[in-house]
Amino acid sequence: MSLLSLENITKTFGGLVAVDAVSFDVPEGSIFGLIGPNGAGKTTVFNLITGNYKVDTGQIRFNGEVITGKLTHKIVEKGIARTFQTIRLFSNMSVLENVLAGYHCRIRSGPVAAMLRLPKQRAEERRALGKSLAELNFVGLGHESENLASNLSYGNQRLLEIARALASNPRLIILDEPAGGMNEQETAALVDLIFKIQDRGITVLLIEHDMSLVMKACQHLVVLEYGKKIAEGTPEAIKQDPLVIEAYLGSDDESF
Amino acid sequence: MTDKKSKFRRLVYAAFVLFWLTAPLYLNKYFIDVLNNVALYAVLGLSLNIILGYGGMFHMGHAAFYAIGAYTTAIINIQFGVPVLWIMPLAGLTAGVFALVVARPIIHLRGDYLLIVTIGLVEIVRIALINNVFGITGGANGIFGISSPSVFGWTINGIVHPGHYYYLLTVFLGITIILFYLLEHSRFGRALRYLCSDEIAAEGSGINTAWYKLIAFVIGAFWAGMTGTLYAAKITFISPESFSFWESVVMFMIVILGGSGSIPGVILGAVLIIGLPELFQGLQQYRLLIFGIALVVMMIFRPQGIIPPKPPKYPANALDESEVVL
Q: pLDDT for B261-272, tens place per residue?
A: 999 999 999 999
Dist. CA B88–CA B226, nearest whole Å: 5
Across B52-68, average pLDDT: 97
Cβ distance A114 to B194 less than 8 Å, yes or no, reads no
Q: pLDDT for B87-107, tens place per residue?
A: 999 999 999 999 999 999 999
pLDDT at residue B25 tops 80: yes
Chain A with chain B: Cβ pairs closer than 8 A: 132
Cβ distance A94 to B325 less than 8 Å, yes or no, reads no
Residues in Cβ contact with A4 at an 8 Å cutoff, skipping those fewer than 6 apart: A25, A26, A49, A60, A61, A62, A63, A80, A172, A203, A205
Cα A69-A71-A77 angle, rounded to 5 deg:
120
**Any chain A CB within 8 A of the CB of B190?**
yes
Residue spans of beta strands (DSSP E) within B129-270: 150-151, 154-155
| 3-class DSSP assignment, residue A8 | strand
- Distance from the Cα of A151 to chain B's closest Cα (Å) equals 14
Q: Sign (positive/negative) of CA torsion B237, B243, B249, B251?
A: positive
Over the range B126-165, which residues count as b (16 or more CB within 10 Å of their CB) and which as e?
beebbeeeeeebbeeebbeebbbbeeeeeebbbeeebbbb
| 3-class DSSP assignment, residue A79 | coil
What is the per-residue pLDDT for A251? 52
Cβ distance A73 to B219 less than 8 Å, yes or no, reads no
Interface test with B, best of A75, A97, A132 (most B CBs within 10 A): A97
Cβ distance B206 to A102 less than 8 Å, yes or no, reads yes
Cβ distance A109 to B201 less than 8 Å, yes or no, reads no
* Burial bucket for residue B229 (CB in 10 Å: 0-12, 13-18, 19+): buried
**Any chain A CB within 8 A of the CB of B224?**
no
* pTM for the full predicted model: 0.94
Across B27-50, average pLDDT: 96
pLDDT at residue B62 tops 80: yes
Q: Sign (positive/negative) of CA torsion A73, A75, A79, A85?
A: negative
Residue spans of beta strands (DSSP E) within A115-211: 172-176, 203-207
What is the per-residue pLDDT for B282? 72
Polymer length of chain A: 256
* List of chain A residues whose C-beta atoms are within 8 Å of the C-beta of residue B315: 129
Dist. CA A248–CA B238, nearest whole Å: 73
* List of chain A residues whose C-beta atoms are within 8 Å of the C-beta of residue B208: 71, 73
B142 within 8 A of B132, measured Cβ to Cβ: no
Cβ distance A77 to B206 less than 8 Å, yes or no, reads yes
**Any chain A CB within 8 A of the CB of B38?**
no
B126 within 8 A of B67, measured Cβ to Cβ: yes
**Any chain A CB within 8 A of the CB of B221?**
no
What are the per-10-residue average pLDDT scores of chain A (256 residues)? 94 95 97 93 96 97 96 98 96 97 97 96 97 97 96 96 98 96 93 98 94 93 95 93 80 50
B85 within 8 A of B196, measured Cβ to Cβ: no
Dist. CA B211–CA B103, nearest whole Å: 11
- Distance from the Cα of A240 to chain B's closest Cα (Å) equals 36
Q: Nearest CB to B206: which of A76, A97, A127? A: A76
Q: What are the beta bridge partners of residue A12?
A: A17
* List of chain A residues whose C-beta atoms are within 8 Å of the C-beta of residue B183: 111, 114-115
What is the per-residue pLDDT for B84? 95
Distances (CA, A) of B260 to B42, B53, B306, B314: 13, 4, 9, 21
Does the ipTM exceed 0.85? yes
Cβ distance B204 to A115 less than 8 Å, yes or no, reads no
More confident residue, B284 or B128: B128
What is the per-residue pLDDT for B285? 74
What is the per-residue pLDDT for A121? 97
B227: Cα separation from own chain's centroid: 8
Confidence at B283, pLDDT banded by 50, 70, 90: confident
Task: Out of B121-125, B154-158, B181-185, B195-199, pick the least confident.
Answer: B154-158
What is the per-residue pLDDT for A23? 97
Dist. CA B49–CA B55, nearest whole Å: 8
Q: Mean pLDDT for chain B?
A: 93
Interface test with A, best of B205, B214, B260 (most A CBs within 10 A): B205
Dist. CA A132–CA B323, nearest whole Å: 11
Distances (CA, A) of A172 to A138, A208, B209: 17, 17, 22
Across B188-200, average pLDDT: 97
Task: Out of A106-120, B220-234, B306-320, pick the least confident.
Answer: B306-320
Residue in B closest to A101 by C-alpha: B205
